[in-house]
Amino acid sequence: MILIALAGVGAGAINAVVGSGTLITFPTLVALGYPPVTSTMSNAVGLVAGSASGTWGYRRELRGQWHRLRWQLPASFFGAGLGAWLLLHLPEKVFQQIVPVLLILALVLVVIGPRIQDWARRRSEAAGESAEHVSPRKMVMLVIATFAVGIYGGYFTAAQGILLIAAMGALLPEDMQRMNAAKNLLSLVVNIVAAVAYTVVAFDRISWLAAGLIALGSTIGGFLGAHYGRRLSPTALRAFIVVVGLIGLWRLLTI
């Protein structure tokens, strides 16, 4: 119980700062013996509270972004619904086979995410683009990317924040902190949709003890991440995420 709660604190803080906090809680649950699908469902339910606290902590950075978010929010909503449907209807064997691949993808994105963002920022600056003026073509691409990440997040929540920031960073000449605020809000929508779907359809497959402990820990972690996380080294955070993710990957492949 203590380990799960501490993992929730870490996940809430990391989600608020860089995303991919699920790579802390999901491997922890799997390592403690929870089945992969139960771990994913319990984790999604528990992290809603942490996503909410992290979003609230970054509320100032959301100002001036609603001209884009009014399109991205529905994309995240419907994408998450489709992803949750896939998790609930595909055989558990499919999930066990695809999760290691998704986990590897998530870890790779954690490592190369900063390079993608730096490249996209330089490209936008060279083109003289501004965050307030996004071309219709890029807006369509952004909405499609947000929908695709929503599907991924509804099915397997790990590193959806990294995917969102990578997509926004590649398409928008936006400040990192403002993109992080948008990422927190969109991830919150995905987590809520997934959590509601799992609760309604698979109530008995969720570990409510684990979900409650993660909710408690991630709420605290979300506030800490939003208020103090900017002072931490992103490199150290990413290294910690990769180590924990590799442990979880090893556990998945050996169960």
15-54, pLDDT tens digit by residue? 777 666 787 888 888 888 888 888 888 988 988 888 888 7
What value does the mean pLDDT take over residues 4-14? 87
Q: Residue 125: pLDDT above 70?
A: no
What value does the mean pLDDT take over residues 147-169? 81
Q: Residue 213: pLDDT above 90?
A: yes
Domain holding 47, by residue range, is: 1-254
Partners of 133 in the beta sheet? 130
What value does the mean pLDDT take over residues 99-108? 75
Structural domains of the chain, count: 1
Region of 64 (left: φ > 0; alpha: ψ -120 to 50; beta: rest) is left
